[in-house]
Amino acid sequence: MTQSQPNEIFLKDYQVPAYLIETTALRFELGEDNTRVFADLKIIRNPECQQSNPALQLDGHPDLVLQELAIDGRSLTTDEYQREGELLSIAAVPQAFELHCVTVLEPQNNTALEGLYKSDGMFCTQCEAEGFRRITFYPDRPDVMSVFETIVVAEKALYPILLSNGNAVERGEEGDTHWVRWQDPFPKPAYLFALVAGDLKYIEDSYTTMSGRDVKLQIFAESKDLDKLDYGMTSLKKSMRWDEEVYGREYDLDIFMVVAVDFFNMGAMENKGLNIFNTSCVLAHPATTVDAGFQRVEAVVAHEYFHNWSGNRVTCRDWFQLSLKEGFTVFRDSEFSADMNSRTVKRVEDVSLLRTAQFAEDAGPMAHPVRPASFIEISNFYTLTVYEKGCEVVRMIHTLLGADEFRKGSDLYFERHDGQAVTTDDFVQSMEDASGRDLTQFRRWYSQAGTPVIDASGTYDAEARRFSLTLRQSCPATPDMAEKQPFHIPVAIGLLDQQGGEYLLENSATTQVLDFTAAEQVFHFENIDSEPVPSLLRGFSAPVKLSYPYSQEAHIFLMQHDSDGFNRWDASQQLAVEMMQALIVDHQAGKALQLPEQLVNAYRTVLADSSLDKAMVSKILTLPSQAYLSELAEVIDVEAIHKVREFVRNTLAAELEPLWQDVYQANLSEAAYSPDADSIARRSLKNLALAYLLATGKEEYLQLALQQYDAADNMTDQQAALTLVTHSDFSAATDDLLARFYDSWKDESLVVNQWLSVQASKPSEGALARVEALLQHPAYDAKNPNKIRSLVGAFCGQNPVNFHHQDGSGYAFLADQIIQLNKQNPQIASRLLGPLTRWKKYAPARQQQMRAELERIKASGELSKDVFEVLTKSLAV
């Protein structure tokens, strides 16, 4: 816990470190009551630092117990150093010296899950961003890179496996204890340090790199999960190959290890040579993991592996530069997933996330640029903006430069900065230098927050055979900045002729990328024989909101003819969105709802065309989400959006019932489960059809769902049936099915999480009472972030009708949870706060209720920096 007015830190105040750490030698004596950490640091003055005789400043968490501090073998007395808040300063130190420091920790009582803690009886660490300061006193900043050696000592019987970064170079035994010495030859910042000790089992494989070196690959987990590691291993090998082929990047150590832990604040962590994963992001087995889970494992394994270059070999100078490694690495993992599966489907999924959650962040009280200018708690900035919008910014550079020039740029970046801690500007500079493109204006994407809006309009001059496209851009004010300068926006465009063919544009290509840089610009296209239908922002070439006055017919035309798969899907989404927005207005006016025939017909055409890609059919026929419609709304009317979605779904269910039946039958599969893209698409389409069939309300489809539940040989089909029945109007069947599911899977923690989420997100009345009852269930553990996310997170984030119940009970429930978690696990507390911070988007009555709960949290006692920052920023707008 910290004082009630924590400091804000600014990018503009950055100063180079006064001291550098050449080597860091650590010895961990792990124990049940306490753990002692011996740190020996070789320290030198930083020649780049201009200050004369600066004090040595070390970061150390206030709870850290200091047992010994010595310089060059001489112990310091307490008046020779100062401890204040998170800092320990020693005023007079030599130019070069050795610091010896002993600290004592209680990892078993560490509920924040930062630093060294215990997860299910195993020791593990999480040091990014500022967790190392909970282990020992150290310059805990990413621009201090040091060569680490770590000795791990622990009781043999309880902790047979002892791991740290790098290569194991020596091991030994003494009585009941044993030890292993690890050396990591690559200098790294403290945030990449890792240690694991426990009774773990592992699978092993090997990989021969492009230059012919053999690397040992190991994935560790508790013995009960040993059968769920193969997919992670396959994904790892694919990632290693892909990074060689696409980026020319080779792995550099002799061993690469991954460890699965059950208590983890986020998805995974890229510690050098020793990645630590949330079990939810690495364990996969057909019987227990749904398709999306397999895809997540593949993507996260790749993401963490790719960090070895984009993050570890080249790291961030300071935490404002977080997107340097995260935006770029998300771009890399996203392209990897696109190459491994369906490119268009991946794009649709990424854009859906961006448009709902990231755009909402951009429009909310925590809005910040991809490179934030200030923060109170860096943990609050591991956001969709830094990750996903950061990825889009890198993608735009890729679009502007083209694949070849982009590769030259990334080669230059890695060559120039290997072993350094650098800035997003260094990244852009390499791209500029390698390609010769001027990215000066483009850099605004890093410094200006908010989602740009483009208003587009077109005119056709038949006589001149010219189509002219006018683009106007603006960007709404964000709490940090009122006025924005125009962005450099790559707008990929195609022009369709009346028959659905494509005009040839610049370079005889059907797609042209426009450099849209002014507030308003007109682009002319010559030799256009008849009025074209423009296909704009192909592949979602920029993270913006673009509007064009399309008619319904034009949307339907693009749905059928656009050669850009993403835009075909997008046309269907926009068509549905526009119709649903009109229905929301009707509902609010008390009018009877009527679904336009055009939408039913458009869906019918898609559904009846068996030649179409199944994955895309399934995406097109999935209605715009509650979250997307909410993001688009000026004022969110939760009930109206929910009612309209239900109405549209039920109407499409009834009108197209025979087609849903056909699709369901046509996509049943006898083949053994496989998580490949085609099979996933089949299951997704089949389960979508089942959802529509259940929405008819007919008893026979309940039986069909129950039959699927019983016959399923994989979790995807079983869980789809469970969710659909639980969320349907067939309430009588629900309790029995939920009980059966729990009974079958109570020993599989990750499956139990799904069971919690299905109940927490059930839209019918009374959800909160069910959630409160589940908080007391033996399956729930209030200290485990995965359980908290599955129950509390799912209720507040995926059950809008109940969370926003007009009696305010959902808000009060969340506030109670935050007050409790604020002390126990500030990072999780602050993340959960999200839904309450969006109060401004609701009608006045709800605004008041939400604000009152935020005020109640504020008055509840001492707040962590994490919660303090989000709370004060949301109350300030």
Positions touching Zn ion (CB under 5 A) are 326, 329
Backbone φ/ψ region at 590: left (φ over 0), alpha (ψ -120 to 50), beta: left
Alpha carbons within 13 angstroms on the beta-carbon side of residue 366 total 33
CA angle 160, 164, 169 (to 5 degrees): 85
Residue 546 and residue 536 in contact, taking contact as beta carbons nearer than 8 Å: yes
Smallest separation (angstroms) from ligand B3K to the CB of 443:
23
Smallest separation (angstroms) from ligand B3K to the CB of 321:
13
By the rule CB under 6 A, 383 interacts with ligand B3K? no
Smallest separation (angstroms) from Zn ion to the CB of 192:
12
Spatial CA neighbour of 299 closest among 256, 244, 354, 242: 242
Return all residues near 678 (Cβ < 8 A) that are at least 6 apart.
614
By the rule CB under 6 A, 337 interacts with ligand B3K? no
Closer CB to Zn ion, residue 322 or residue 623? Answer: 322
- Span from 76-84, 300-308, 650-658, 716-724 in contact with ligand B3K (CB under 6 A): 300-308
- Two structure tokens written together for 697: 């309300």
By the rule CB under 6 A, 270 interacts with ligand B3K? yes
By the rule CB under 6 A, 236 interacts with ligand B3K? no
Smallest separation (angstroms) from Zn ion to the CB of 385:
14
Closer CB to Zn ion, residue 326 or residue 631? Answer: 326
By the rule CB under 6 A, 866 interacts with ligand B3K? no
DSSP string, 683-751: HHHHHHHHHHHHHTT-HHHHHHHHHHHHH-SSHHHHHHHHHHHHHSS-HHHHHHHHHHHHHHHTT-HHH
Give residues 361-380 in contact with ligand B3K (rule: CB under 6 A). 379
Q: Which residue is nearest to ligand B3K (CB)?
A: 128
Smallest separation (angstroms) from ligand B3K to the CB of 865:
13
Smallest separation (angstroms) from ligand B3K to the CB of 265:
6
C-alpha separations of 743 from 740, 746, 748, 752, 776 in Å: 5, 6, 10, 10, 17
Picked from ligand B3K, Zn ion, none, the partner binding residue 614 (CB below 5 to 8 A depending on kind) is none
Closer CB to Zn ion, residue 275 or residue 723? Answer: 275
Alpha-carbon distance of 828 to 844, in angstroms, equals 28
CA dihedral 707, 711, 716, 722 (to 10 degrees): 40
Picked from ligand B3K, Zn ion, none, the partner binding residue 388 (CB below 5 to 8 A depending on kind) is none
Residue 712 and residue 718 in contact, taking contact as beta carbons nearer than 8 Å: yes
Please indicate whether residue 304 is annotated as part of the active site: yes
Closer CB to ligand B3K, residue 370 or residue 751? Answer: 370
Cis peptide upstream of residue 129 (ω within 30 degrees of 0) = yes
Alpha-carbon distance of 541 to 566, in angstroms, equals 10
Smallest separation (angstroms) from ligand B3K to the CB of 128:
4
Closer CB to ligand B3K, residue 271 or residue 399? Answer: 271
The alpha carbon of 525 is separated from its chain's Cα centroid by a whole number of angstroms, namely 39
By the rule CB under 6 A, 382 interacts with ligand B3K? yes
Alpha-carbon distance of 81 to 513, in angstroms, equals 60
Among 262, 304, 717, 869, binds ligand B3K (CB under 6 A): 304
Alpha-carbon distance of 394 to 389, in angstroms, equals 9
By the rule CB under 6 A, 269 interacts with ligand B3K? yes
C-alpha separations of 654 from 575, 620, 623, 696, 729 in Å: 20, 18, 15, 6, 15
Closer CB to Zn ion, residue 164 or residue 329? Answer: 329
Smallest separation (angstroms) from ligand B3K to the CB of 140:
13
By the rule CB under 6 A, 129 interacts with ligand B3K? yes
- Span from 13-21, 219-227, 302-310, 653-661 in contact with ligand B3K (CB under 6 A): 302-310
Number of shown-chain residues binding ligand B3K (CB under 6 A): 12
Closer CB to ligand B3K, residue 265 or residue 849? Answer: 265
By the rule CB under 6 A, 37 interacts with ligand B3K? no
- Span from 265-273, 291-299, 818-826, 842-850 in contact with ligand B3K (CB under 6 A): 265-273
By the rule CB under 6 A, 595 interacts with ligand B3K? no
Catalytic residue among 86, 130, 304, 631: 304
Picked from ligand B3K, Zn ion, none, the partner binding residue 100 (CB below 5 to 8 A depending on kind) is none
Which SS3 state, helix, strand or coil, does residue 444 take?
helix
* DSSP β-ladder status, 96-105 and 65-71: antiparallel
Which SS3 state, helix, strand or coil, does residue 261 take?
strand
Residue 427 and residue 455 in contact, taking contact as beta carbons nearer than 8 Å: no
Smallest separation (angstroms) from Zn ion to the CB of 167:
24
Sign of the Cα pseudo-torsion (368, 451, 580, 492, in order): negative
Among 86, 326, 362, 570, binds ligand B3K (CB under 6 A): 326
DSSP string, 483-500: --PPP-EEEEEEEE-TTS
By the rule CB under 6 A, 303 interacts with ligand B3K? yes
Closer CB to ligand B3K, residue 379 or residue 630? Answer: 379
Q: At what angle do helices 343-353 and 322-340 cross, to 10 degrees?
A: 140
By the rule CB under 6 A, 243 interacts with ligand B3K? no
Among 59, 86, 128, 392, binds ligand B3K (CB under 6 A): 128
By the rule CB under 6 A, 225 interacts with ligand B3K? no
Closer CB to Zn ion, residue 238 or residue 408? Answer: 238
Picked from ligand B3K, Zn ion, none, the partner binding residue 119 (CB below 5 to 8 A depending on kind) is none
Residues linked to residue 147 through DSSP beta bridges, in sequence order: 23
Picked from Zn ion, ligand B3K, none, the partner binding residue 259 (CB below 5 to 8 A depending on kind) is none
By the rule CB under 6 A, 381 interacts with ligand B3K? no
- Span from 45-53, 299-307, 706-714, 734-742 in contact with ligand B3K (CB under 6 A): 299-307
**C-alpha gyration radius of the chain:** 28
Picked from ligand B3K, Zn ion, none, the partner binding residue 423 (CB below 5 to 8 A depending on kind) is none
How buried is 577 (Cβ within 10 angstroms: 0-12 exposed, 13-18 middle, 19+ buried)?
Answer: middle
Smallest separation (angstroms) from ligand B3K to the CB of 665:
42
By the rule CB under 6 A, 655 interacts with ligand B3K? no
By the rule CB under 6 A, 130 interacts with ligand B3K? no
Look up residue 431 and give its DSSP letter. H
Smallest separation (angstroms) from ligand B3K to the CB of 303:
5
C-alpha separations of 103 from 122, 133, 137, 551 in Å: 20, 11, 8, 68
Smallest separation (angstroms) from Zn ion to the CB of 181:
29
From the CB of residue 739, how many other CB atoms can be counted at a distance below 10 Å? Answer: 10
From the CB of residue 600, how many other CB atoms can be counted at a distance below 10 Å? Answer: 16
Alpha-carbon distance of 152 to 136, in angstroms, equals 15
By the rule CB under 6 A, 478 interacts with ligand B3K? no
Residues linked to residue 28 through DSSP beta bridges, in sequence order: 37, 152
Closer CB to ligand B3K, residue 152 or residue 322? Answer: 322
Smallest separation (angstroms) from Zn ion to the CB of 312:
11
By the rule CB under 6 A, 755 interacts with ligand B3K? no
Closer CB to ligand B3K, residue 288 or residue 329? Answer: 329
Picked from Zn ion, ligand B3K, none, the partner binding residue 379 (CB below 5 to 8 A depending on kind) is ligand B3K
By the rule CB under 6 A, 564 interacts with ligand B3K? no
One-letter amino acid for residue 467 of the chain: F
Run of H or E residues at 205: strand 201-208
Residue 771 and residue 791 in contact, taking contact as beta carbons nearer than 8 Å: yes
By the rule CB under 6 A, 629 interacts with ligand B3K? no
**Residues contributing to the site for ligand B3K (CB under 6 A):** 128-129, 266, 268-270, 303-304, 307, 326, 379, 382
Residue positions annotated with a catalytic role: 304
